[in-house]
Amino acid sequence: MISTRQVAKNPTLTRLGYSVGMESSPRLARDWILLTVASKRHTRLRTLLALLTSILARCIIQPFDGLTNPFLMPFQHVRNRPDLLLLLSAAAVPLSFATWQALLNNFAVERAAFGGAEMGILQSLREIPGLMAFAVVFLLFLFREQTIGYLSLILLGAGTLITGWFPSVLGLYLTTVLMSIGFHYFETVHFPHSACSGATRTGPLNCWAG
């Protein structure tokens, strides 16, 4: 792994490090800088990797950093309370899923004219993200488990929220898949955090303190 001192001495590395947000995520920036400068033969590939890393750091990772995002600073005390964060995240999933299920049972029949065949297809599509939940291991190369959990909760809430604006068979299929991705991916990363053990009296709750 490339060191911070080497990055500071090399103007090319310093420039690339600034573009990917070295000040907010130095480890991510150093790893991706190493990838981009490892081979001088593939200039286009290095440029593409630097661009994608910049987008990830500034548009996805940095908004969830309470130290750099002023809108999240009032919620820093929640992040510093792993027990409270675990309780809130555990309550968000059944609340969203129960809301979606109650909405679907009435909305799908009355507005989208769902029959038995359409409902069977919808339930089958809902389980596809569950079968593909193993893909979360690839996301772990880019994000921490906490970040994946936050993004999954956003997808779960967004899928439930926009269901009412798509009163059609195809619309319900798409919103169901979106909701299911958030649900299954959150459960995938949530269980290791709630099951792992800590060294203090709060035990497994400390795993959410990262």
Reply yes or no on whether the pLDDT at 66 is more than 50.
no
pLDDT class of 109 with cuts at 50, 70, 90: confident
pLDDT for the residue 2: 46
**Angle 85-202-72 from CA coordinates, rounded to 5°:** 25
Q: By the 8 A CB rule, do 122 and 114 touch?
A: yes
Rounded Cα distance, 123 and 197, in Å: 35
Mean pLDDT of the chain: 67
pLDDT for the residue 24: 46
Q: What is the pLDDT of residues 126-174, one digit of tens each?
A: 888 888 888 888 888 888 887 888 888 888 888 888 887 887 888 888 9
Rounded Cα distance, 106 and 124, in Å: 19
Rounded Cα distance, 87 and 64, in Å: 19
Both tokens assigned to 16: 């690339």
pLDDT class of 29 with cuts at 50, 70, 90: low
Reply yes or no on whether the pLDDT at 204 is more than 60.
no
**DSSP state for residue 167 in the 8-state scheme:** -
**Angle 132-137-138 from CA coordinates, rounded to 5°:** 90
Average pLDDT over residues 57-74: 51
Q: By the 8 A CB rule, do 66 and 73 touch?
A: yes
Reply yes or no on whether the pLDDT at 205 is more than 70.
no
pLDDT for the residue 56: 58
pLDDT for the residue 140: 82
pLDDT for the residue 45: 64
What's this model's pTM, rounded to 2 decimal places? Answer: 0.53
